[in-house]
Copies of this chain bind each other. A is one copy, B any other.
Amino acid sequence: MMNLDGPKLQPPSPALLAAMLDVLGPKGFTTDHDIMQPWLTDWRGKYHGRAAAMLSTATTEEVAAVVRLAGDAGVALVPQGGNSGMVGGATPDASGAQLLMSLRRMNTIRSIDQGAQSVVAEAGVVLQVLHEQVEAQGLRFPLTLGGKGSATVGGLVSTNAGGTQVLRHGTMRALVEGIEAVLPDGAIFDGLAALKKDNRGYDLKHLLCGAEGTLGIITAARLRLVPAIAARITGWFGVASPESALALLRRLDSALGPELEGFEIIPQSCVDAVLAHIPGTRAPLPDHCGWHALVELAAISPDRADVLLDLATAAQSDGLVTDMVLAKSDAESNAWWRIRDSISEAERASGPAIQHDVSVPVDVMPHFIASNPARLNAAFPGARAISFGHLGDGNIHHHIQPPLGADGAAWIAEHGEAVSELVYRHVIELGGSLSAEHGIGQMKRDLLHRLSDPARIAMLRGVKTGLDPSNIMNPGKLVP
């Protein structure tokens, strides 16, 4: 296998920086430390980098020119969108030799096509702005997540982002119809035409989606839109266990099919933590349940609530559901989703935890949730596992809290790495993934190397060396 360090990367020379300033103009180029500073640390404050300059391109042609200059000089580029990633994928290294490349100025929505239900958005368009612009045309972009106020189209595509609507609409990959990108040699790849069928060899769209900027820089994407929601129906169900929740999910999925958009599970302890720490929250159900399922339909009409109710009543008779309530208003729906979305915040209020974003086959998830705590406690007595999230996607956030009474920070410093290793090895044993939706970035690169099938690593390296032989594209990220 080729050496991924490749030709030794260089810091940019003064002449190269001058040439870039010449291409980008003063609005697109800075070496000012105070201006760069907010973008050199990831939003969670875990990764800190330096950069020789920050480039803020305004057009695809400018991106191409900059990439050509960097390639000729053997200088590394680190593309960045909203800087809201979870794995340090957009933070440069500490050398100060890399160039930070912001796509945020490229924030034009080039077109919205009502007939074909698609939008062409540049890399720097913020997700929330995209939502609003297409809603104004009676359409909907059906992917959303907590960071929607800062996450950009380029970053969402580059990380194949997930969120809470994946059950119905898939991850970002399933919503990308076309991509425009600048490749490591500076060529512009124009793949924006919306072709439903195209068998001209390797699928370059799928290759760039989720590549975390290591194969090229995405400058624009054509994204699939769906009709606006006709009727939103939200249900909150008490269930005895993740097994019961899965059985309920299967019934709803089979009866409601494409109307079922969201199915999240939440343990009682998380609900308790939210009610204790987040002001203004109220329990949807009067009594404690082992687990809760938050279900959302994008239904064809409001009367489909009756169908959901009938299904849930039958599930109650069969012992799958212990209690239930449907939201009576959009405000109530929003209040319930606020409970779901506040779990991490409530958890932080009660102390530190070790977080894992993992997936296993959907059917196996109840087994993982049930069996991981015992395995964990055998090795780390008193450690507490909390699992919540996207059961329908086989993807949960699996957080481990220190034993009650322990000094949390000290315990994590001592055991954190070994705890994570135990969790990831369990996931892999079950055929799962150590990164379900957050990606690899710099955070999980060594982990991926250590715990992956060598065939997978060899393929990642082969693609990377084949497409970016000089390794100028976000080096040090993703590919071990």
Task: Say yes or no: B440 contacts A201, CB within 8 Å.
Answer: yes
Question: A377 in the interface, Cβ–Cβ < 8 Å?
Answer: no
Task: Say yes or no: B207 contacts A207, CB within 8 Å.
Answer: yes
A197: which B residues are within 8 A, CB to CB? 162, 166, 171, 359, 390, 393-395, 433, 436-437
Which of B183, B201, B465 is within 8 Å of A466, CB to CB? B465
Interface residues on A, range: 35 or more
A113: which B residues are within 8 A, CB to CB? 363
Q: Mark A244-286, 1 if CB is under 8 A from B, else 0.
A: 0000001000100110000000000000000000000000000
9-residue interface stretch from A73-81, A124-132, A148-156, A449-457 = A449-457
Task: Say yes or no: A210 contacts B204, CB within 8 Å.
Answer: no
Task: Say yes or no: A203 contacts B207, CB within 8 Å.
Answer: yes
- A residues 182-208 with Cβ under 8 Å of B? 183, 185, 187-191, 193-204, 206-207
Question: A339 in the interface, Cβ–Cβ < 8 Å?
Answer: no
Q: Mark A441-480, 1 if CB is under 8 A from B, else 0.
A: 0000000100011111011101111110100000000110
Question: A235 in the interface, Cβ–Cβ < 8 Å?
Answer: no
Question: A399 in the interface, Cβ–Cβ < 8 Å?
Answer: no
Q: Given A116-B362, A199-B160, A360-B195, A463 and B460 touching (CB < 8 A)? A: no
Question: A7 in the interface, Cβ–Cβ < 8 Å?
Answer: no
Question: A423 in the interface, Cβ–Cβ < 8 Å?
Answer: no
Closest to A431 in B: B193
CA distance A196 to B436 in the complex (A): 8
Q: Mark A350-389, 1 if CB is under 8 A from B, else 0.
A: 0000000001111100000000000000000000000000
Q: Given A198-B359, A479-B201, A187 and B454 touching (CB < 8 A)? A: yes
CA distance A189 to B457 in the complex (A): 10
A360: which B residues are within 8 A, CB to CB? 193, 195
Q: Given A200-B435, A201-B448, A189 and B455 touching (CB < 8 A)? A: yes
CA distance A462 to B436 in the complex (A): 28
CA distance A439 to B199 in the complex (A): 5
Closest to A183 in B: B455
Which of B196, B210, B359, B433 is within 8 Å of A395, CB to CB? B196
A196: which B residues are within 8 A, CB to CB? 166, 359, 362, 392-395
Which of B116, B201, B361 is within 8 Å of A363, CB to CB? B116
Q: List 21 A-B contacts (CB under 8 A).
A: A162-B197, A183-B455, A189-B453, A189-B455, A190-B453, A194-B361, A196-B362, A196-B394, A197-B359, A197-B390, A197-B395, A199-B436, A199-B438, A199-B439, A200-B452, A201-B210, A201-B212, A201-B460, A201-B478, A465-B466, A466-B467
Which 8 residue pairs of A and B lie closest in terms of their CB atoms, listed nearest first? A466-B466, A193-B431, A206-B206, A187-B455, A462-B466, A198-B433, A197-B436, A462-B467
Interface residues, chain A, with chain B CB atoms under 8 Å away: 113, 115-116, 159-160, 162, 166, 171, 173, 183, 185, 187-191, 193-204, 206-207, 209-212, 215, 227, 250, 254, 257-258, 359-363, 390, 392-395, 431-440, 448, 452-456, 458-460, 462-467, 469, 478-479
